[in-house]
Chain A
Amino acid sequence: MLRDWVVISVASAYLGLLFAIAYYADRRADHGRSLIANPYIYSLSLAVYATAWTFYGSVGRAVSTGVGFLPIYIGPTLMCVLWWILLRKMILISKVHRITSLADFIASRYGKSALVAGLVTVIAVIGILPYISLQLKAISTAFQIVHSHDVEVLRASREGPFIADTAFYVALILAAFTIIFGTRHLDASERHEGMVAAIAFESLVKLIAFLAVGAFVTYGMFDGFGDVFTRARALPRVEELFVIGGSGDAHAGILASLYSASFFSMLAIMFLPRQFQVSVVENVDVNHVKTAIWLFPLYMLVINLFVPAIAFGGMLHFAGASVDPDTYVLTLPLANGHNGLGLLVFIGGLSAATGMVIVETIALSTMVCNDLAMPLLLRWRALRLNERKDLTGLLLGIRRAAILVMLLLGYLYFRVAGEAYALVSIGLISFAAVAQFAPACLGGLFWKGGTRAGALAGLSAGFIVWLYTLLVPAFARSGWVPMSLVDAGPFGIELLRPLQLLGLTGLDQITHGMIWSMLANVGAYVATSLATTQSAVEHSQATLFVDAFKHSVVGTGSLFWRGGVSVQELRALLARFLGAEKADDTLDSYARQRRLRSAWEVEADANLIQFAETKLAGAIGGASAHAMVASVVKEAPLSMDEVMSILDEASQIMKYSRELEQKSRELASAYSELRSANERLKELDKMKDDFVSHVSHELRTPLTSIRSFSEILQDYPQLDAPTRSKYLSVIIQEAERLTRLINQVLDLSKIEAGRAEWQMEDVNPREVIDHAVAATSRLFAEKAATLEVDLPADVPRIVADRDRLVQVVINLLSNAAKFCADPGGRVSVSLRVLADGIRVDVRDNGMGIAPKDHEVIFEKFRQAGDTLTAKPRGTGLGLPISREIIKHLGGRLWVESELGKGATFSFVVPLVRRAEAGGEAGEEKETEAFGARMAQAKAH
């Protein structure tokens, strides 16, 4: 007989031991010597999967369905094989994004949507409640059995007030334990080293306890496995349990239920909040997964090894007595008087239940706090939470309250519906609920196209079908909902019967619920995702999740700049959720990492904002952190369109093609520029050639005559004096011409290159013309031409270089003298005063110039007619030089003439000289300067 005080004190000592382990592990973690950083502890902590359901319920299920207890463990084993691909990806993503819970994970994938996070949390809490109630039921039943030693106690109805109900106190004690255990402090990383260590220890305890009772039954009560099975075979209808029984439709139905159980278990091992917590959030090193892939299934295999033996042993032992098979594990040792073993089994069951409750409620409370309560409270403006300096207390309070409320709700479910089902059925209802996360989560991991709307639709559809096909019948069976709804369908509509939806019959409740909920979930998820488009944030998160192995370094998150915020604002925000000290530490570590001397040098750039957001995400979840950072950072400057242009692949491509177009346009224009430059170069080259040939031609003519006359003089010394003197004067004339030519070339090049010196002064145009007329009078006298000069009496003075202006007029007059009619030549020069300048006309009565030659004559070395055959009359540089001079003075020089009617050369010079027209036609200037340089080079 086990006395209550013994049981209670042993249980208390056990819980105390858990505390000690957790405390020790936390201390070790603080000193950087983590106790849990090895793959074996990790694998053992994963065994939190084995709850009181495994501990007590497996035997019960084996008794009722034979091999039916196995799919719940073989399914996860199959899933484990994929862990290196699947779980590793989830762990990497979670570390990068500092994911704290399953809700956080799914919400982060769908654009950090608070709505998705909230929905996941609601589904998880409602779905897990039956599972928590299952643990309460197991512990309280076990306690009552140990307390009363009445192995049939379970069948006693539970009608007393809850004050007298053990389960109520179990719920309260577990709540208190979990609260003290799991929410002692608010960790920025939201990892619980102590908890993991304790859970690993609990896994060992329950394994040892179960193996002990298994060995006791198999080898103590019976003579090994063979004995148990051989003797059991003699019992009526036991052979049916040795096989997957039934025939025809019944057989198919049993198989279907096995498959659906393994399917749900496969998903549950990934998506139960507590499994996500230990396998993803608490993971220290992804490489631990490598060991867990085989060690965790091995644990499950070992803990199930004795299940058939205990089941059949119990059936043999209690044949005829109404003992609930769910309690065989405990009742067999007790019935055989092994109280010590009974106590060990009780502790084993307690460890299985507490392990589950601790991790599950901590995970759920984190979700409730981060993804349900905080977003709502922060939005509730009346609370003015945004202005509170320190919210760490509030966060802890919410989590603690959530744990308490969940355990009390679990108790309520236990009171209402718990009696109607065996342990395994309750558990499978929860498995079916968390399986609803699979499409959104797995789809989100491997399919970039899944949208937020798709996730919401899938989750909602699956959850509603789950409620209707699995939870409503459970309530109906416990009397909360009229049974007629299940039997006849709502409003008597048979098609809508929750257990035969749309007339689907022949399946057990779980399989039926699985088919419909998964159909609704996957269908809604895929269809809605295909019908909707992603926002920019969703798109970037989708890429980060699906391509996690490419983006697994922290800081590759969405780094778009969100506008202005000061470091102090971010620090204040961190301090509100992490506490002031931790906020400072955090910023210091950021500064160190950036190789800055102190946190004061940190710049509030996109990196820091991203950093703060991931830190906050560790405390309050991704969606809330995103909202909080957005509330501090002025988000306005970045419009959605800009975000799109940064993130959207399509727009990236468009941008790229626009750049390409731009580039090709630039190339085209560069090409045309090059071509025109090339043409200009060719032209210049031609001009240079022309110029060189002109200059050499012009130089050769006088040189030839000088040389030939000199040779005559040298070869014929007997020449008479007049002839010699005549020849000498020719030589002198030609030399003079040569000098003049060279001077003019130099002059022209200087003017063109802008290097000529100009002596600007007030000049009287009359004097200029008088001077020029006097200088050329001999020319006219030689040709017997008349020169008429028409000058007004009063002429305004102009600003010009006097000598050069005289040169222009001399050039024009000497040209006129050369080309006027002979004999009877008549040249007139006239000066007229215009409104803004003076005009000089020099008119001759010569042969005239054809209009096509009007511009040619102003080119260097060009004269009207054929210069190569006709004897040159002049250097061919006079007019170009004159034009340059007049141009420099701001005026214009041109000719008006027709063949046979004489020619009039005119120029105007403004009264006030325009500012040197330096900019005019730069390229022309270049060309001419080049020509001038060539001329200079030749001249030297």
Chain B
Amino acid sequence: MKRTNVRNERLVALLLFGLLLFNYPLLAMFNAPDLVLGIPKLYLYLFVAWAALIAGAALILRLTDQDDGDVRGEPARARRATQPR
């Protein structure tokens, strides 16, 4: 059976993953004043994790753009909604 809410499920999973990234214990692993590539480890980690989160979101939206039929109907409905009645 085809899951109709693939996009929503994946996005929620990504959110949970994001919450994990910016929390203990991962945060503690990088919580040291060393410099990696000349950049404080924590800063580097936070920016990389942040970028990964954004990339994940973009990827999910791109991947689900074709196969998620119920979303196809949305723009039409929304546009109809904005038209003067």
Contact = CB atoms under 8 A, between A and B. Distances in A.
A287 B74 contact: yes
A96 B77 CA distance: 10
Contact of B22 (A74, A290, A590): A74
A251 to B, nearest CB: 9
Centre residue among A85, A224, A555 by max chain B CB count within 10 A: A85
Given A262-B22, A286-B75, A293 B61 contact: yes
B81 A554 contact: yes
A783 to B, nearest CB: 100
B46 A74 contact: yes
A321 B68 CA distance: 59
A555 B38 contact: no
A539 to B, nearest CB: 23
A152 interface: no
Interface residues of B, number: 42
Nearest to B18: A78
A229 B53 CA distance: 25
Interface string B43-62: 10011001101110110010
A784 to B, nearest CB: 106
Contact of A285 (B46, B57, B78): B78
A476 interface: no
Contacts of A91: 78
Given A67-B46, A287-B75, A85 B51 contact: no
Contacts of A230: 35, 38
Nearest to B49: A74
A297 B42 CA distance: 19
Nearest to B43: A308
Contact of B80 (A229, A233, A554): A554
Contact of B14 (A81, A92, A96, A229): A81
A586 B11 contact: no
A448 B60 CA distance: 30
B53 A297 contact: yes
A13 B38 CA distance: 41
Interface string A283-322: 0111100110110011001000100100000000000000
A290 B7 CA distance: 11
B7 to A, nearest CB: 6
Interface string A85-113: 10010011001100000000000000000
A85 B60 CA distance: 14
B3 to A, nearest CB: 15
Interface string A470-492: 00000000000000000000000
Contacts of A293: 57-58, 61
B15 A243 contact: no
Contacts of A301: 47, 50-51, 54
Contacts of A294: 54-55, 57-58, 61
5 contacts: A81-B14, A95-B78, A95-B81, A243-B42, A287-B78
Contacts, number: 130
Interface string A221-252: 00011110110010000011011100000000
A919 to B, nearest CB: 59
Nearest to B24: A255
A82 B18 CA distance: 11
Contact of B42 (A85, A92, A244, A611): A244
Given A242-B42, A290-B61, A301-B51, A552 B78 contact: yes
A552 B77 contact: yes
Nearest to A593: B85
A377 interface: no
A553 interface: yes
Contacts of B32: 243
A916 to B, nearest CB: 66
Given A84-B7, A227-B38, A552-B77, 6 more contacts: A81-B15, A85-B8, A92-B78, A95-B78, A243-B42, A611-B85
Contacts of B27: 244
B82 interface: yes
A554 B85 contact: yes
A609 to B, nearest CB: 12
Nearest to A308: B43
Interface string B28-43: 0001110101111111
A70 interface: yes
Contacts of B35: 226, 229-230, 233
Given A81-B57, A290-B61, A298-B54, A92 B39 contact: no
A70 B18 contact: no
A297 B78 contact: no
Contacts of A77: 18, 50, 53-54
A132 interface: no
A67 B42 contact: yes
A81 B40 contact: no
Given A77-B54, A80-B57, A244 B31 contact: yes
A92 B37 CA distance: 46
Contact of B11 (A82, A224, A552): A82
A77 B49 CA distance: 11
A589 interface: yes
A240 B31 CA distance: 10
Given A286-B74, A308-B43, A95 B82 contact: yes
A84 B81 contact: no
B84 A229 contact: no
A229 B22 contact: no
Contacts of B37: 226
B57 A297 contact: yes
B19 interface: yes
Contacts of B1: none
A553 B81 CA distance: 6
A242 B40 contact: yes
Contacts of A82: 11-12, 15
B85 A555 contact: yes
Given A81-B14, A229-B35, A242-B33, A70 B46 contact: yes
A553 B54 CA distance: 32
Contacts of A80: 57
Interface string A612-645: 0010000000000000000000000000000000
B79 interface: yes
A293 B56 CA distance: 10
Q: Sorted from nearest, which 9 A-B pairs have the closest CB atoms?
A: A226-B38, A294-B58, A242-B40, A95-B81, A242-B33, A239-B33, A286-B78, A81-B15, A294-B57
A530 B35 CA distance: 54
Interface string A258-286: 00001000000000000000000000111
B40 A229 contact: yes
A78 B15 contact: yes
A286 B73 CA distance: 11
Contacts of B74: 88, 286-287
A82 B38 CA distance: 34
Centre residue among A70, A262, A290, A586 by max chain B CB count within 10 A: A290
